[in-house]
Amino acid sequence: MKISLFFLNSSTGLLSCRELDYEQQSQYFLVITAEDQGIPKRADTCTLRITVTDENDNVPVFIDNIPTLIEIDDSKQIGEILGRLSATDQDDGLNGKIIYSIVEDTSGLLDIHPDTGEIILPGFIKNSICKKTFSNMVDYPTSQNDYIIKVKAEDQGVSRVLSSEFNIQLHLIRTKSMLKLGEPQFLSDHYNGFINEGEQRGQFVLQIHSLDHLTEDAPLAYSIVSGNMDAAFDIDDNGRLITAQELDYEIKNVYNLKVIGTGNGKNTPETDIHIRVINTNDNVPSFPMLKPRKVLESATYGTLIGTVIATDVDIDTQLEYSLLSSNDLFEIDPFTGKIFLIGNLDYEMINEHTVHIQVTDGENTSRATLRIIVEDVNDNAPKFEEQFYLINIGKDIELGSIIGKIRANDPDTGHGGIVRYELAINSMNDFRIDPETGNLLVIGKLNDRSTYYLKVYAFDQGKPAQNSTVVVQINIGIENYDRKPIRFTRTSFNFSIPENIQPYNEFGQITLMDEIPIGTILRIQNFEPINLFGITHDGSIF
């Protein structure tokens, strides 16, 4: 039975999963359906791609056919390959890259290539070598013929390093040899070694050996004559190469040293040492100075706000980004550093957001702060302070008199918040409105006991401009008119309407106890949003 790896909460949309294995499958595609509960049901689908990133969760494993016994006799030559180590690691990239090394070798006879795993004899053994010389060469009592060599296969994991060890038996086959003096020489004309960066001074790197047929009173003295930049290494009289400085992979990762031996012999033997510095995750990732990003408040879901890029001096490190605090407006791609909008912005509510970002290389972390500035969009129409204006004036009002003030406000900034007023064309013969102040003036002779209806526009100055309208009722000569009280037939009216009703379709009726008096206007008061519903002069709701 196939086990489901992913789980989707049908109410919240939260997606979770079981433990995944990169080595089994590195990518998944899920088809997700969103469905409402209406009648009929409506639904939409999308495809989600999930990429699994590799974790260093597999230890290097030595294969079965690597040598467990190595035999050396006096016929072996300098640099001869005695065997080859081989290990596998199921992880990917650096997590699966293996480097080989010798952990323990009391014989001092073997070397190993860190990349290929080749076990190398860094010298040769000839019949002309006497017992004393052979003993000096391997630095152990001549009666010992068997040794256990401990080797290691180590991956180069980014977040952590895993390794395995393996034991190889070394057996020396000795033959009779003749005492014969000769000139000193190194066991090998080339040595390979490596060391991790950041190790303390005095760290042992490797041992070089020489075949010295001279007496113990005149041993060889070793010297590094070239390639030792910044005096990074020292070599003692026993041929032990150690670090003299703390090494940094990012400054120099390869050293090619030339070492000579001086003594009472006629010749001066020399050998080359190739040292590779192994990179470790010793540097903290860092952010550059993050400049504020700007985004329009009308930006839609998924809009790219910007990209933050951290740097790490370490080589081949994988950086992962995250937001420190939960955020309903923004999210960051953990691998690219791209920041996306996932919510709705509102300049009038909050015009600047601060996002705290973290980056990690698996061991070290850094943090940075990014300011996201919301730019205002002219998304608000002017809003009149009253939904309806009623003005009563006497019949003898003088021309040019101010009879009222119309006022609208706009929360937008800049030009989008500047309001100008206009009258509809059919209202301009008898009245005028000041475009800036909203003051309403009489400019024509008015009829006594008459009612005028004006339509006033309020425009903002944004692009594109937004506008609103309001009706002004002006009653002439009835400022002291004795009106009967208006009484509704009910204290409340309830109406139900379908959500897809067409605009201006009447769906209800407000009724009064008596006939509507002359000059009375019914209006809807204290309802948000404005202009969603309307009422006619006879009480019909639309």
pLDDT of res. 141: 38
Residue 491 has pLDDT above 90, yes or no: no
In a domain, 412, yes or no: no
For residue 311, what pLDDT band results from cuts at 50, 70 and 90? Answer: very high
Shared domain check, 224 and 107 = yes
- CATH classification at residue 120: 2.60.40.60
Shared domain check, 217 and 76 = yes
Residue 135 has pLDDT above 60, yes or no: no
Q: What value does the mean pLDDT take over residues 456-463? A: 90
Tokens 């630095």 correspond to what residue? Answer: 139
For residue 531, what pLDDT band results from cuts at 50, 70 and 90? Answer: low
Q: Which residues of 409-446 are buried (b: 16+ CB within 10 A; e: fewer)?
A: ebebbeebbebbbbbeeebeebbbbeeeebbbebeeeb
Residue 138 has pLDDT above 50, yes or no: no
In a domain, 403, yes or no: no
pLDDT of res. 305: 94
What percent of the chain shows pLDDT beyond 70?
86
pLDDT of res. 484: 60
Shared domain check, 144 and 215 = yes
Q: What value does the mean pLDDT take over residues 168-193? A: 69
Q: What value does the mean pLDDT take over residues 394-416? A: 89
Q: Is there a contact between 411 and 495 (Cβ–Cβ < 8 Å)? A: no
Shared domain check, 22 and 45 = yes
pLDDT of res. 125: 42
pLDDT of res. 93: 83
Of 515, 535, 514, 532, the residue nearest 524 (C-alpha): 535
Tokens 């290389």 correspond to what residue? Answer: 361
Give CA–CA dist 540/507, Å, rounded: 8
Shared domain check, 272 and 249 = yes
pLDDT of res. 127: 35
Count CB-CB contacts under 10 A for residue 461: 16
Give CA–CA dist 385/409, Å, rounded: 7
Q: Is there a contact between 150 and 113 (Cβ–Cβ < 8 Å)? A: no
The total number of structural domains in the chain stands at 4
For residue 137, what pLDDT band results from cuts at 50, 70 and 90? Answer: very low
What percent of the chain shows pLDDT beyond 90?
29
For residue 529, what pLDDT band results from cuts at 50, 70 and 90? Answer: low
Q: Which of 68-77, 135-144, 400-409, 525-534 has the lowest mean pLDDT?
A: 135-144
Contacts of 325-333 with C-beta under 8 Å, sequence gap 24+, read 325/356, 327/355, 329/353, 330/305, 330/355, 330/372, 332/308, 332/357
Give CA–CA dist 534/33, Å, rounded: 39
Whether the CA torsion 231, 236, 242, 245 is positive or negative: it is negative
pLDDT of res. 106: 73
In a domain, 439, yes or no: no
Give CA–CA dist 485/474, Å, rounded: 20
Shared domain check, 83 and 122 = yes
pLDDT of res. 478: 60
138: three-class secondary structure by DSSP? helix
Q: What value does the mean pLDDT take over residues 380-407? A: 89
pLDDT of res. 279: 84
Residue 268 has pLDDT above 90, yes or no: no
For residue 427, what pLDDT band results from cuts at 50, 70 and 90? Answer: low
pLDDT in tens, 493-506: 888 888 888 877 88
Residue where one domain finishes, among candidates 375, 402, 418: 375
Round the average pLDDT of the chain to a whole number and report it: 82
In a domain, 383, yes or no: no
Of 335, 321, 330, 332, the residue nearest 301 (C-alpha): 330
Shared domain check, 189 and 266 = yes
Residue 354 has pLDDT above 90, yes or no: yes
Amino acid at the residue 374? V
270's tokens: 């020399």
pLDDT of res. 492: 85
Length of the chain, in residues: 542
Q: Is there a contact between 508 and 536 (Cβ–Cβ < 8 Å)? A: no
Give CA–CA dist 60/44, Å, rounded: 47
Residue 44 has pLDDT above 60, yes or no: yes
pLDDT of res. 519: 54
Range of the domain at 84: 61-278
Shared domain check, 12 and 65 = no
339's tokens: 């920041």
In a domain, 515, yes or no: yes
Q: What value does the mean pLDDT take over residues 337-365? A: 91
329's tokens: 């407006």
pLDDT of res. 126: 38
Shared domain check, 216 and 93 = yes
Residue where one domain finishes, among candidates 351, 375, 399: 375
Q: What value does the mean pLDDT take over residues 62-87? A: 82
pLDDT of res. 132: 31
Q: What value does the mean pLDDT take over residues 72-94? A: 82
Residue where one domain finishes, among candidates 375, 406, 433: 375
Of 346, 328, 420, 431, the residue nearest 382 (C-alpha): 420
Any idea of the CA torsion for 192, 197, 199, 202, to the nearest 10 degrees?
Answer: 40
pLDDT of res. 509: 87
Residue 47 has pLDDT above 70, yes or no: yes
pLDDT of res. 52: 86
Shared domain check, 66 and 47 = no
Amino acid at the residue 286? S
Residue 321 has pLDDT above 50, yes or no: yes
Beta bridge partners of 293: 372
pLDDT in tens, 187-200: 777 888 889 888 89
In a domain, 207, yes or no: yes
In a domain, 14, yes or no: yes
Shared domain check, 101 and 37 = no
Tokens 């401990």 correspond to what residue? Answer: 150
Phi, psi of 318 (to 5 degrees): -105, 120
Q: Is there a contact between 445 and 505 (Cβ–Cβ < 8 Å)? A: no
pLDDT of res. 306: 94
In a domain, 405, yes or no: no
Q: Could you give the C-alpha distances from 285 to 181, 321, 323, 358, 469, in angstroms and in order?
A: 59, 11, 16, 10, 58
Shared domain check, 165 and 28 = no
For residue 487, what pLDDT band results from cuts at 50, 70 and 90? Answer: confident
